[in-house]
Amino acid sequence: MDIQIFLIFFIIFSLSILQSVMGVGILLFGTPTFLILGYSYTDTLAMLLPASLGISLFQIFGKFDIVRTKSAILIYTLPMVVISLSAILYLQLSIDIKKIVGLMLVLLGLVRVSSYLKHLLKNIIISNRYFYCVLMGFVHGISNMGGGLLVLFMDSMFKLKDEIRINVAFGYLLFGIVQIFVLVIFSIESFNIMSLVLPFVAIITYYYLGNRISSKINENSYQYVVTFFIFIYGVLSFVNL
């Protein structure tokens, strides 16, 4: 097997485990990784979106009873994802906001460490959820890295790990559907055989490994995992990317 193909498979395998636990991962961490490897933004989307969609579908399958994704995402976030991604692809813009997003995630990760600040942040998000949803859609459309913001939003809306994870997965699923729709319109040539193969890698990883790992993580551990990866990703984005 070609070393580059093996590397792609390994990245998807690793991030599929992470997404099984957090509800996000393939897009949030895969996007900067593939950009560093030299792939274009459109090629990166074409490879990662189908894999992410595959896991999201399996995560919510049979669990629609706890899907309570807020209407604010449908009304404010998804249109902004479409508008911002369409602008990037149509105008062929190259906007690098990874360091800004990274710094924001570092600050949010630090906030999550403090129960007082976490409670304060939750109130701020709830009080300004419409603006937050618009911002989340804009960030995700131009960078594919709105997953961290989505986790924080759902964490502010729900208490239980399964509620947070399933609603994050459902929100991610909606993000992915509209992104693929836009990508088909503006850059259908970006899709290739990897766009078909990688979803199977992700789904198999989730079914045989990721889902089992997720079931063994309790509420407190879940919160620690989310905070850890938000913080680490923020540091890496701000310093290195």
Span 216-238, pLDDT tens digits: 777 667 667 777 777 776 777 66
- Give alpha helix (H) positions in the chain: 3-22, 26-36, 41-60, 71-72, 78-91, 98-113, 115-127, 129-143, 147-157, 161-187, 193-205, 211-215, 219-240
Question: Coil, helix or strand for 75?
Answer: helix
Work out how many domains the chain is built from and give that number.
1
Span 167-187, pLDDT tens digits: 888 888 899 999 999 999 998
- For residue 21, what are its two tokens? 């636990």
| 219 phi and psi angles, rounded to 5 deg | -60, -50
Q: Is the pLDDT of residue 143 over 90?
A: no
Provide the domain limits for residue 30. 3-240
Q: pTM of the full predicted structure?
A: 0.81
